[in-house]
Structure 1
Amino acid sequence: MESAVKGKTVALVTGASSGIGYEYARQLAERRYNLLLVSNEEEPIQRVARELSIHYSVSVEGLYRDLSNLDAASSLYCYCRENDIVVEILINNAGIFFFNDVINVNTGKLSVIVNLHVYTVTMLCHFFGEDMAKRGKGYILNMSSLAAKIPYPGISVYAATKSYVRTLSKAMYNEMYDKGVIVTAVCPGGVATNLYNLKPELLRLGVRLGILMPTKKLARKGLSAMFAGKRCITPGWINYLFSFGATCIPSIVVRMIKRKAKFYQYGK
């Protein structure tokens, strides 16, 4: 079956079947960009591709890919080369989240999060960034997290991988600037998505209290920062306050909080 975006210039968005990735895709379609959308959810990504194509009258292709596989980035890049697809914008959004101590997580799950957040993001930046540099223009947006600044127990692996993404992006910004390519890291706090497996009523409450940011607002801020040529943003004033306060808490207090959390979670 021929690619729906064969021979076209596109914005490539990973993890685009729902949540933040969907909003990035929708808002880029609204800006009249053709789209290559990637997700490990086969039916939803095809549905999203059809929806955006019809609603915004742009060319959209949905690709099923497990980006935690070590050959995923090279396979995706080869697919684009074979179909003469030019990636002008790369949005590295795909990600997973879990809350647990490192020693209590199975090795398969650890491999998935490290491969997805670190290896695949790096390889996609390498492959598509090189082509952008040769053309003298392009945009790369990498989704990091406020957690990148907060090495707290339970989110150690997630925070470490997002710290890598933040550091990679900020360094690449200066590497690529003179080549006409903008690299932006977006470091949000809590976002109203299904990433945390919260009940819908808790998501709505989080938004009303200002603790969680709606995906539409976050995607708008992320794209605005990218097109404005910014290196790194942390959307939302409350997140600036939280990141400063959280890093000032002594380790002994962090351990006390962790013990209390375990008591209420497990009743012992």
Structure 2
Amino acid sequence: MPLNHRGTTAIITGASSGLGAEFARTFAARGANLVLVARRAERLAELATDIRSKHGVEVHTIVLDLTELGATDALVAAVRERGLSIDTVINNAGFGMRGALVDANAARLDEQVRLNVGAVVSITRAFLPEMVASGRGALVNVASTAAFVPVPLMAVYGATKAFVLSFTEAVAFETRDSSLRVTAMCPGATRTEFFDVVGTEDAAVGSFQTPPQVVATAMRALDARRTPAAIVSGRANRATTVFARIMPRGIVVPLTARMMEH
């Protein structure tokens, strides 16, 4: 049975498009009030207006670049200024870069690690005590099927998502005696702006899913009597991650490299 989130408050990062916007619409449809976080003020405002008109929930927008130092402190301050208590966190913001590490822009790599890893940890830690105390919400950290194997030509991205997966599974265990539902959402290639940032769809492995498909998978996991600590979206993607886990790295890494090259 779908959980009712009426009266709870959910923070969603990277909320201006793609999976973040879809999570926002889905939680609003279940009655949750929202705190939408992203860099693009106009897109956030449009989404907030649409959600308010359709679902009648409170929607707060915070325009913030989470790659900047001190961004989590600014986020927490903005939430407290509004007098909000947080029940759910969806750490969705993140980006990838394609290419050999030797050629990568060092400053952009630092930003990728700060967003994909640093922001996930600091935002989770900032709101975890009240989420555990509430027990009415969830922690969803968006990882990737790239979390299950080293990814040549996207070495840092794959490693950041492996971190997110490991981190979330550990937090799920630590909070197992609470009512908080914790999961790492691991989608494969998804029709979002992710590949616009990467610069090419050549980085996609497997068939594309849509944001509604991925979010529906996440919500089924959250609705389950026992929420799994990690969930992979898509049957083919699940098969691929099982293969990646059981096969020797000496086979999997060169195979992944060939997929990325072609």
Same fold (TM over 0.5): yes
1:157 is aligned to 156
1:232 is aligned to 230
Once residues 256 and 116 of structure 2 are traced to their aligned partners in structure 1, the CA distance between those partners, rounded to angstroms, is: 28
1:160-185 CA-partner distances (Å, limit 9, x unpaired): 00011101100000111213322111
1:73-222 correspondence runs (5 A): 73-197=72-196, 211-222=207-218
Per-residue deviation at 1:243? 2.4
1:17-28 correspondence runs (5 A): 17-28=16-27
- Per the alignment, do residues 138 and 111 of structure 1 end up closer, same or farther by CA in structure 2, a change over 3 Å counting? same
Per-residue deviation at 1:223? 2.0
Q: Secondary structure at the match of 1:190?
A: coil
Q: Which moved more, 1:225-234 or 1:155-164?
A: 225-234
Per-residue deviation at 1:224? 2.2
Asked if the contact 1:97/1:195 (under 8 Å) is kept, the reply is: yes
Once residues 258 and 207 of structure 2 are traced to their aligned partners in structure 1, the CA distance between those partners, rounded to angstroms, is: 23
The one-letter code matched in structure 2 to 1:47 is E
Per-residue deviation at 1:251? 4.5
1:95-151 CA-partner distances (Å, limit 9, x unpaired): 111211222111111111100011111011101002223345431100011000120
Asked if the contact 2:16/2:40 (under 8 Å) is kept, the reply is: yes
1:7-46 correspondence runs (5 A): 9-46=8-45
Asked if the contact 2:87/2:134 (under 8 Å) is kept, the reply is: no
Once residues 251 and 177 of structure 2 are traced to their aligned partners in structure 1, the CA distance between those partners, rounded to angstroms, is: 45
Once residues 42 and 28 of structure 1 are traced to their aligned partners in structure 2, the CA distance between those partners, rounded to angstroms, is: 21
Per-residue deviation at 1:71? 1.0
Once residues 12 and 258 of structure 2 are traced to their aligned partners in structure 1, the CA distance between those partners, rounded to angstroms, is: 39
Q: Which moved more, 1:25-34 or 1:176-185?
A: 176-185
The one-letter code matched in structure 2 to 1:224 is R
Once residues 32 and 259 of structure 2 are traced to their aligned partners in structure 1, the CA distance between those partners, rounded to angstroms, is: 49
1:194-231 CA-partner distances (Å, limit 9, x unpaired): 21139xxx8xxx9xxx7111110111111221232221
The one-letter code matched in structure 2 to 1:142 is N
Once residues 222 and 256 of structure 1 are traced to their aligned partners in structure 2, the CA distance between those partners, rounded to angstroms, is: 28
Q: Secondary structure at the match of 2:138?
A: strand
Asked if the contact 2:152/2:260 (under 8 Å) is kept, the reply is: no
Q: Secondary structure at the match of 1:55?
A: helix
Once residues 256 and 217 of structure 1 are traced to their aligned partners in structure 2, the CA distance between those partners, rounded to angstroms, is: 27
Q: Secondary structure at the match of 1:178?
A: coil
Once residues 67 and 126 of structure 2 are traced to their aligned partners in structure 1, the CA distance between those partners, rounded to angstroms, is: 17
**Structure 1 runs of 4+ off > 3 angstroms?**
134-138, 244-262
The alignment-based identity, stated in percent, is 31
Asked if the contact 1:9/1:87 (under 8 Å) is kept, the reply is: yes
Q: Secondary structure at the match of 2:75?
A: helix
1:4 is aligned to none
Alignment RMSD (CA, Å): 2.7
The one-letter code matched in structure 1 to 2:186 is C
2:3 is aligned to none
* Structure 2 gap ranges (5+): 1-6
Asked if the contact 1:98/1:196 (under 8 Å) is kept, the reply is: no
- Per the alignment, do residues 154 and 59 of structure 1 end up closer, same or farther by CA in structure 2, a change over 3 Å counting? same
Q: TM-score, normalised by structure 1?
A: 0.84
Once residues 260 and 173 of structure 1 are traced to their aligned partners in structure 2, the CA distance between those partners, rounded to angstroms, is: 32
The one-letter code matched in structure 2 to 1:214 is T
- Per the alignment, do residues 260 and 134 of structure 1 end up closer, same or farther by CA in structure 2, a change over 3 Å counting? closer
The one-letter code matched in structure 2 to 1:139 is A
The one-letter code matched in structure 2 to 1:218 is V
Once residues 13 and 21 of structure 1 are traced to their aligned partners in structure 2, the CA distance between those partners, rounded to angstroms, is: 6
Once residues 82 and 187 of structure 2 are traced to their aligned partners in structure 1, the CA distance between those partners, rounded to angstroms, is: 34
The one-letter code matched in structure 1 to 2:90 is I
Aligned residue pairs total 249
2:4 is aligned to none
